[in-house]
């Protein structure tokens, strides 16, 4: 009888161990899915899971972002930090253009106005990191200058390309807006570098 | 600042208003009125534009409230001058 009980106790322990193991695996899967969804939403507002699979550096950056996002005081500060980390991630890993938001190097970028450094820094929603690089700079994109200039009300526009922005160390991310599907956000460059890329300005061909 | 709107001042304001580029002037603020470009004042109608106006203060580009004030002052100055002159005319007509 006592041997039978000892056997039963052993079986119970094995069952406990298996149950705990399964629970652990399920928790890891759940946490991973929640983290991926959260980061993806914060970063771009649309799925781009390919970004996560690049290398250990990308993985570490995303992991850090998840931790920071979960402890951030406000959604705004989280989004600002997410933009910075995302720009660093894209630049550091050299993510191919088609996985960095589907923007090829020859895509034209346009921004209305004088495009001076102080006006880049004062742009709506623009944040500046500790290194002095701007993030969330609003630009339009298109296959041609005319296409990129659509909807820009200014008489003059600054023009560059996604490839030139990346070559200078910056990043370009799609950020479609209602009525403006070509809208993008540029980041990772100083106001002075952005101004050099987008000047001299030209006459807006759509005006 | 204790300003008095004398007839001379009114005439001066009318002259200033008429010598500037005519309305409408529209404050175009990035993130509010458009995206992908600097904030500025659009001078003239959409189909009859003059040069855009960029306003800068010591610390950098002027804020939206400054642009709104400038555009409103340009658009309403002639309206206000006309209204004051009309009301003063009514007062003078009263017995």
Q: pTM for the full model?
A: 0.68
Query: B51-64 pLDDT, tens per residue?
Result: 999 999 999 999 99
Q: How close, in Å, is residue A129 to chain B by CA atoms?
A: 19
Q: pLDDT tens for chain A, 207 residues: list them.
A: 445 545 555 555 544 555 554 454 444 444 444 343 333 333 333 434 333 333 334 444 544 554 455 554 454 455 556 556 655 655 554 443 444 457 999 999 999 999 999 999 999 999 999 999 999 999 999 999 999 999 999 999 999 999 999 999 999 999 999 999 999 999 999 999 999 999 999 999 999
> Chain A to chain B, count of Cβ pairs less than 8 Å apart?
72
CA–CA gap between residue A36 and residue A42 (Å, rounded): 10
Phi and psi at A130, nearest 5°, equal -65, -20
Categorize the per-residue pLDDT at B85 as very low, low, confident or very high, splitting at 50, 70 and 90.
Answer: very high
Please report, for chain B, the start and end positions of each structural domain, with discontinuous segments joined by +: 7-93
What local confidence, expressed as pLDDT, does residue B93 receive? 82
Strand partners, A139: A184
Instruction: Between A41 and B23, name the one with better pLDDT.
Output: B23
Quick check: A100 and A172 in contact, CB under 8 A? yes
Partner B, chain A 136-165, Cβ-Cβ below 8 Å: 138-140, 151-157
pLDDT above 90: residue B23:
yes
pLDDT above 70: residue B47:
yes
CA–CA gap between residue B89 and residue A201 (Å, rounded): 51
Is A177 within 8 Å of chain B by CB? yes
Q: Please, what is the Cα angle at A73 between A67 and A79, to 5 degrees?
A: 70
Quick check: A202 and A159 in contact, CB under 8 A? yes
CA–CA gap between residue A169 and residue A89 (Å, rounded): 12
Q: How close, in Å, is residue B66 to chain A by CA atoms?
A: 14
Cross-chain Cβ contact B30/A139 below 8 Å: no
Question: Mutation test of the interface with chain A: which of B37, B40, B43, B60, choosing the one with the most A Cβ atoms within 10 A?
Answer: B37
Instruction: Between B45 and A52, name the one with better pLDDT.
Output: B45
3-class SS string, A35-96? HHHHHHHHHCCCCCHHHHHCCHHHHHHHHHHHHHHHHCCCHHHHHHHHHHHHHHHHHHHCCC
Is A115 within 8 Å of chain B by CB? yes
- Chain B residues touching A159 at Cβ < 8 A: none
- Chain A residues touching B36 at Cβ < 8 A: 110-112, 138-140, 151-152, 180, 183
Longest dimension (CA), chain A: 96
Nearest in space to A160 (alpha carbons), one of A126, A189, A136, A196: A196
Q: Scanning every residue of chain A, which has its alpha carbon at the shortest distance from the alpha carbon of B47?
A: A207
The three-state secondary structure class of B93 is helix
What local confidence, expressed as pLDDT, does residue A18 receive? 54
For A123, the closest of B30, B54, B56 (CB atoms) is B30
Categorize the per-residue pLDDT at B5 as very low, low, confident or very high, splitting at 50, 70 and 90.
Answer: very high
Nearest in space to A203 (alpha carbons), one of A171, A157, A170: A157
């Amino acid at each position: 009888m006592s041997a039978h009980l000892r056997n039963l106790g052993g079986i119970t322990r094995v069952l406990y161990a298996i149950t705990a193991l399964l629970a652990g695996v399920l928790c890891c899967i759940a946490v991973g899915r929640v983290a991926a969804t959260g980061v993806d939403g914060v970063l771009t507002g649309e799925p781009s899971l390919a970004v996560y699979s690049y290398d250990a550096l990308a993985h570490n950056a995303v992991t850090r972002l998840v931790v920071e996002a979960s402890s951030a005081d406000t959604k705004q500060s989280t989004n600002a930090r997410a933009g910075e980390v995302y720009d660093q991630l894209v630049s550091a890993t050299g993510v191919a253009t088609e996985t960095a938001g589907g923007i090829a190097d020859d895509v034209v970028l346009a921004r209305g106005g004088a495009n001076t450094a102080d006006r880049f820094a004062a742009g709506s929603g623009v944040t500046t990191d500790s290194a002095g690089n701007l993030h969330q700079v609003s630009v339009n994109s298109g296959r041609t200058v005319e296409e990129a200039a659509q909807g820009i009300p200014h008489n003059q526009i600054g023009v560059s390309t996604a490839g030139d922005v990346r070559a200078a160390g910056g990043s370009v991310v799609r950020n479609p807006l209602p009525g403006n599907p070509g809208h993008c956000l540029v980041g990772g460059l100083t106001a002075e570098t952005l101004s050099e890329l987008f000047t001299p300005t030209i006459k807006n061909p759509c005006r | 600042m204790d300003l008095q709107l004398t007839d001379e001042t009114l005439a001066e304001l009318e002259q200033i208003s008429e010598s500037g580029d005519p309305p409408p002037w529209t404050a175009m603020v990035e993130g509010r009125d458009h995206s992908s470009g600097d904030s500025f004042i659009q001078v003239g109608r959409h189909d009859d534009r003059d040069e855009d106006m960029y306003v800068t203060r010591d610390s950098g580009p002027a804020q939206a409230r400054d642009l709104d004030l400038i555009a409103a002052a340009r658009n309403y100055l002639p309206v206000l001058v006309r209204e004051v002159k009309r009301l003063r005319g009514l007062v003078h007509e009263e017995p």
